[in-house]
Amino acid sequence: MAVPTVEQIREWSKQDFAGLGYSDDDDLQVLIDRASADLQRITGRTWEGLITSTTLQPIAEQALQGMVEAMAYRNSEDYLETLGDFDLISSFSVGGYSEQRRSPEEAKKARLLHSWPWVSELLYGLLTDEQRDFWDAFFGDTVPAFEVTEVDWSERLGPYDDYDSLLYGP
């Protein structure tokens, strides 16, 4: 499977890319390339690795489409004007006015997790085990960790011929 083309993304999507400033195919191709790189970085999978899986291929295509749509929308003027307030506000009240702000680290996590939840769900389904552990830990979930190392003890017996002689003497 190759990375979806500009024509495929335009065909699959209901997004008005021209209205968002992406009427030129070369401009949209830049977004596809960036989304493809992000998808591979986030999931730990390559496009070539997805070729062999008929179940992962359509999910990857849909995730890439959603990422391209999100990138196109995020570059619009309306989105950029409200970006700072949306990411930093944790709660807001009008009566008696109350406002809480997030730290920059919390704002980054909120944006990653909540800005496009359906894309996040698709990406989560594509994660390798290692990347799933990484992202779970990133978002504060406890990740079980263990490691097993095989040791060849046969070279460490020294003058003994076998384990029985080690245990019971020569």
Question: Measured in Å, how far apart are the chain's first and last C-alpha atoms?
Answer: 64
pLDDT of the residue at 7 = 95
Neighbours of 160 (CB within 10 A): 13
Domain assignment present for residue 93? The answer is no
Neighbours of 24 (CB within 10 A): 12
Report how many domains make up the chain.
1
pLDDT of the residue at 166 = 60
pLDDT digits (tens, 9 = 90+) for 97-109: 766 666 666 666 6
Range of the domain at 128: 6-80+117-168
pLDDT digits (tens, 9 = 90+) for 59-116: 999 999 999 998 888 777 665 555 555 555 555 667 777 666 666 666 666 655 555 7
Domain assignment present for residue 98? The answer is no
**Confidence tier at 2 by pLDDT (50, 70, 90):** confident
Give me the residue label for tokens 């076998």: 162
Domain assignment present for residue 108? The answer is no
Q: What is the pTM of this model?
A: 0.65
